[in-house]
Structures are given as structure tokens and as C-alpha cells.
């Protein structure tokens, strides 16, 4: 969930804050996520359930379900944003006249088929989305030849406020690990899963930090400001005997990377609907998939898509860094009060 569309263009946004010192913010933000992840596990262990159980435990049945309903909107919007952003990349880089509707339909038919297979199938797709496209990491080796790592000097040349701006912008790209709040009841041995969850966050942190350093070494600051998808641009200089345009292969493979992001979002939203209003999960999956097909058609301009992504990112930021610590504190207080 942490690696998706955002990794193709996050470098441009984090550089707006601390410039080419922003790689430090990337590292610090990644390390801060371990605290949030620890809180998530504590919440789930205390209520012995997921986010819906935590809301019911703290706020009661009616208010708890009302708060849980907000997560439905968030994950539906999250899935819509991923679908529309990926279709935009296809339209800009490969097929300019491709229909947003028909390609969204093709993606969502595959998503519905996977989600109907159950949570095990979704997890299986998530596993393969890591293993199969992992070779793409080695394609960035070509960029080293044209990189100047002196671009990163001098280090610590920005104020704490600028570092904070970059850290906030970077935290938006790290979103996704909070799905543990919803998957916890399905983990057979939750205690053993903790180290793997933290290891996953650490690997993502190192991946983002390494790619940030390479991007800053490859692009000048002025060039980066005008580059929408820096990761894709670095693929353009790759030369192999059997393929001329490596970015086409990268974009095609990226469908496998974003597929579990969409599947998990749809599964989470449909599961919450089942818990809150007792609607069959298969019916809610079809409803959410219909929204993911129809709504992206109304976002045609680049500015509109950016605005959609920004709103989703802001919602994710407040959920992760504000609401989860608040809920963590509330659960501990409720446990103490009920204990007495």
C-alpha cells in the first residue's frame, strides 16, 4: 500500500520545502511511522478487533458506526484517485486518445474478480505485486552514469520549518500502512506479525530515501520543478539491446504494483459497509467498483486530478498523524474507565 502512484512523482513536492536537503525529511518521516504503527497495534490488541471495534469500544454503537463510515468515504476516494492517476499516466505517456471510462472499467473488472475471491486472494495479489516487479529497482542503475551527487551539498542548509514542510509532503507518500487497523482480525498470529510490519515500513523508508537521493543527483533543482513524474523521466535514458523505451515496460508493470492498492481499498470500504449497515459485501464491492468507473470520467484536466490527489493526501495525513494518536489515547482512557 505504501508504494503506488505517489512514488512516480513525490520528489518534486518534497523539494519545495527543504530543497535538496529533503532526503533527510524522507528518512526522519519514515522512522516516525514506526511510532504510529506501534499505536495501531496497541489499539487493535486492546479492543481485540479492527477500527470499527475500537470506535464502538470508545464512542458506543451509534457514534462509533458513524465515525467508521468516514473510512468508507476515504477508501472509496483513495481507490478512485489511484485509478484516475494511473489512467492519466497511460494517456500522457502511451495512448493519448484512450478512453478513461473503458480503461477504468477494465481495471475494476479485474479488481472485482480479485476481491470476490476473498481476503486471501487480495493478500496473494499483494505478495506478487512485490515479487514480480521487483526487478524494476535495478533499472535505475542507468541513472548513476548521469548523476552528480554534489547537487546534495551543502547538507543542513535549510531551517527547521522548511524541513517540516518537506516531512509533511513526504508523509503523504508513505500512507497505506494504516490498513493494519482493518486487517488485524485476519492475522493468525498478530504478535509475530509486528516485526514484519516494522520491517516493511523500514524497507519502504530505505527505498524512498535511496530514490530521493538518486533523483536529486540526476536532476537540477530548476529541472525538477518542471518535471511532473521524475521517476518515469529517469527511465527514459535507459538503453537495452532488446527494448528501446524502458518507461513503457515500467508503466505497464506499474499496473501490478497499484492493483493491490485498489483491491485493499475496495475490500476495506466494502467490509466496513458490511459491519455498519449489514449489507452483503459482494453488493457493496459492485457499488464501489461502479463509482471507481464513473467518477474518474469527470476528472479530465491535470489541475482537477492534482486537486483530487491533494485532498486524498490531506485526509490521509490527518487520519495517520492526528486521528490515530487521538484514538490511541481514547482507547487507553476508555479501557481504564471501564476497568474501574
> In this predicted structure, what is the pLDDT of residue 117?
95
> In this predicted structure, what is the pLDDT of residue 111?
97
Whole-angstrom CA distances from 188 to 39, 108, 287 are 19, 29, 30
Count of other CB atoms within 10 angstroms of residue 275:
18
Side-chain-side CA neighbours of residue 159 (13 Å): 3
Domain 5-339 class, CATH top level: mainly alpha
pLDDT, averaged per 10 consecutive residues of the chain (340 residues), comes to 89 89 92 94 94 94 93 94 94 91 96 96 93 88 89 86 88 88 93 94 94 94 89 82 78 92 96 93 96 94 88 88 94 88
Count of other CB atoms within 10 angstroms of residue 268:
26
Whole-angstrom CA distances from 291 to 101, 118, 137, 262 are 11, 20, 33, 13
> In this predicted structure, what is the pLDDT of residue 208?
94
CB distance 166 to 17 below 8 Å? yes
Instruction: Report the distance separating Cα 308 and Cα 268, nearest Å.
Output: 20
Instruction: Report the distance separating Cα 308 and Cα 301, nearest Å.
Output: 11
Amino acid at each position: 500500500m505504501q508504494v503506488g502512484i505517489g512514488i512516480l512523482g513525490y520528489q518534486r513536492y518534497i523539494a519545495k520545502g527543504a530543497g535538496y536537503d529533503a532526503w533527510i525529511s524522507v528518512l526522519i518521516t519514515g522512522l516516525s511511522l514506526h511510532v504510529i504503527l506501534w499505536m495501531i497495534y496497541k489499539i487493535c490488541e486492546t479492543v481485540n478487533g479492527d477500527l470499527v471495534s475500537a470506535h464502538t469500544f470508545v464512542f458506543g454503537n451509534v457514534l462509533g458506526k458513524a465515525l467508521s463510515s468516514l473510512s468508507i468515504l476515504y477508501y472509496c476516494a483513495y481507490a478512485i484517485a489511484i485509478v484516475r492517476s494511473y489512467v492519466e499516466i497511460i494517456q500522457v505517456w502511451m495512448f493519448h486518445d484512450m478512453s478513461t471510462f473503458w480503461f477504468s472499467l477494465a481495471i475494476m473488472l479485474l479488481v472485482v474478480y480479485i476481491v470476490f475471491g476473498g481476503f486471501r486472494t487480495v493478500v496473494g495479489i499483494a505478495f506478487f505485486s512485490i515479487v514480480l516487479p521487483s526487478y524494476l529497482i535495478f533499472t535505475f542503475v542507468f541513472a548513476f552514469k548521469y548523476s552528480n551527487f554534489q547537487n546534495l551539498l551543502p547538507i543542513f542548509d535549510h531551517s527547521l520549518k522548511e524541513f517540516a514542510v518537506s516531512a509533511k509532503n513526504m508523509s503523504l507518500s508513505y500512507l497505506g500502512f494504516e490498513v493494519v487497523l482493518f486487517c488485524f482480525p485476519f492475522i493468525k498470529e498478530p504478535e509475530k506479525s509486528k516485526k514484519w510490519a516494522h520491517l516493511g515500513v523500514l524497507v519502504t523508508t530505505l527505498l524512498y530515501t535511496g530514490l530521493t537521493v538518486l533523483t536529486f543527483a540526476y536532476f537540477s533543482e530548476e529541472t525538477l520543478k518542471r518535471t511532473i513524474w521524475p521517476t518515469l523521466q529517469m527511465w527514459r535514458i535507459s538503453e537495452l539491446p532488446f527494448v528501446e523505451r524502458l518507461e513503457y515496460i515500467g508503466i505497464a508493470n506499474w499496473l501490478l504494483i497499484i492493483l493491490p492498492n485498489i483491491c485493499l481499498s475496495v475490500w476495506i470500504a466494502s467490509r466496513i459497509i458490511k459491519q455498519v449497515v449489514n449489507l452483503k459485501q459482494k453488493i457493496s464491492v459492485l457499488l464501489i467498483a461502479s463509482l471507481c468507473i464513473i467518477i474518474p470520467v469527470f476528472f479530465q484536466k491535470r489541475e482537477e486530478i492534482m486537486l483530487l490527489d491533494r485532498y486524498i493526501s490531506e485526509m490521509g495525513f490527518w487520519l495517520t498523524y492526528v486521528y490515530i494518536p487521538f484514538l490511541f489515547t481514547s482507547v487507553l482512557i476508555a479501557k481504564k474507565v471501564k476497568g474501574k
